[in-house]
Amino acid sequence: MPRGDTVIVFDCGATNIRVIAINSKGEILASESLPNITCPDPLYPSYRIWDIKEIWAKMCRASQKVVSQINANDITGVTVTTFGVDGTLFDKSGKMLYPVISWQCERTNPIMENINKYLPLNELYGETGVLPFSFNTINKLIWLAEQKPELVEKSASFLFMPSIFSYFLTGEMVNDITMAGTSMLTNLAARCFSENIIGRIRFPLEKIMPVVEAGTIVGRINYKASVETALPEGIQVVATGHDTQFAIFGSGAGRNQPVLSSGTWEILMVRSDRFKSGKKQLDLGITTEFDSIPGLYNIGNQWIASGILEWARKNLYKDIKDNVYDVMVSGAEKVPTGCNGVIVVPKFYEELKGIPAGQILGLTMDSTRDEIFRAILEALSARLVEGKKALENAGGFKTESILCVGGGSKNRLWNQLKANYTGVPLKIIDQKETTVLGASLFVQASCGNAASPEEARSAIDYKIEIIEPEVDTY
């Protein structure tokens, strides 16, 4: 029988390592955060790695702090989420054979640039649906096979980041499907690793198996982990995995419900039962990954967003010392639609090519900074329309509304423009910890507190604010 309804989520991000206790209503009971940063590779100082021992030590410290603030008898389960693509090799005894190469490391850049050496990019993208980023797992495996073949030969398994820490908690080595879906090593339609792709890069398939679905109980907190983390021995550890997949589930999104995560970048994603991964989708920057639930796909694209607003703040409003964004929004609200002819091309750099391309057009001697700021908001709203159309085409659905989370959802003018431009209601949800919440819902279901993650999610009050489109045509 479940002990209670408290879930402990270990959430390893690129800048922060967090441990959070959350209950079945989505309430944060306790949390602790410590900074995270990459380190130089001891063998190649110009390359970047994650210091797994240091990260684990911080996780343990954070866990001890969190457990001390709650009733440990109420803990029903534990899970781990992290960013995607990173991992490393372990031998049969559980020894890590090489540091975890960070997604921020440049050593794999030439591998992705020359991936046709192994198989044509169109074929690779067509099967995996994942955009050809240099940090993809496929490039790390190729690097290891080319530069460290003796370690590949000696290894017994490749573990992704969440599975490394689940192994430290349980002693069991199992990868989860959501991390596999970020790797550019899978067959998207079959929801499994691709024998074709892995064979073509000449990496042993058996060394990155087995893979389990989200919600699988992979083991229990062992004695060593209990001492290190203060978690009670025997608590079930449940597989979740890639933070993006659990953020979209935790947002409350159902099938064909686009979710806009609005921050420095805007990421528009949808959970769809169909996908396309042809040349058109590749050219549009569409990436598709496995959803946390079998039979669905997470289709998404992204573009720079609040980063451009921050550029405007620093360069156009540096004289404003207090409540600067309130001043910016209030000024822009007074500017008419069309911004008196000022137009912004918001591609301050091409997302996939790194080519400077941002432009401000239509300036006159009478142009104001408020007109430029509003033009930025209108341009980004128009970019959202492009993203919406691309997702609808790839997933074969029609958008009824858009869920919005993140810091950008606090900008009232931008929210209204997004609704106006897309022509559908924008739903602002009052839930900051969507990744942690989404992962916890799978644990609640796996540990017997709900029949399914969806049923567990039905207990969450998202306190949705709806922004309806105005009459104006955009």
Query: Can you give the three-state secondary structure of 61-72, one letter per residue?
Result: HHHHHHHHCCCH
Say yes or no: 353 and 418 in one domain. Answer: yes
pLDDT of residue 1: 41
327 falls within a domain: yes
Q: 224 and 310 share a domain?
A: no
**What pLDDT is stored for residue 353 in this prediction?**
53
User: Do 14 and 159 reside in the same domain of the chain?
Assistant: yes
Q: Which residues contact 326 (CB under 8 A, 6 or more apart)?
A: none
Within a domain: 452 = no
Task: Name the residue range of residue 237's domain.
Answer: 6-246
- C-alpha neighbours within 13 Å on the C-beta side of residue 132: 24
Q: What is the number of domains present in the chain?
A: 2
Q: Same domain for 233 and 274?
A: no
pLDDT in 10s for each residue of the chain, 474 residues: 446 999 999 999 999 999 999 999 999 999 999 999 999 999 999 999 999 999 999 999 999 999 999 999 999 999 999 999 999 999 999 999 999 999 999 999 999 999 999 999 999 999 999 999 999 999 999 999 999 999 999 999 999 999 999 999 999 999 999 999 999 999 999 999 999 999 999 999 999 878 999 999 999 999 999 999 999 999 999 999 999 999 999 999 999 999 999 888 899 999 999 999 999 999 999 999 999 999 999 999 988 888 899 999 999 999 999 999 999 999 999 999 999 999 998 876 554 455 556 889 999 999 999 999 999 999 999 999 999 999 999 999 999 999 999 888 889 999 999 999 999 999 999 888 999 999 999 999 999 999 999 999 999 999 999 999 997 655
C-alpha pair distances (Å), 466 with each of 388, 425, 453? 18, 6, 25
The verdict on 37 and 92 lying in the same domain is yes
Verify that 191 and 320 share a domain, yes or no: no
437 inside domain? no
Q: Is residue 97 included in any domain, yes or no?
A: yes
Is residue 130 within 8 Å of 182, Cβ to Cβ?
A: yes
- Residue 307 and residue 210 share a domain: no
What is the model's pTM? 0.92
Domain boundary among 390, 408, 428: 428
Residue 187 lies in a domain: yes
CATH code where residue 407 lies: 3.30.420.40
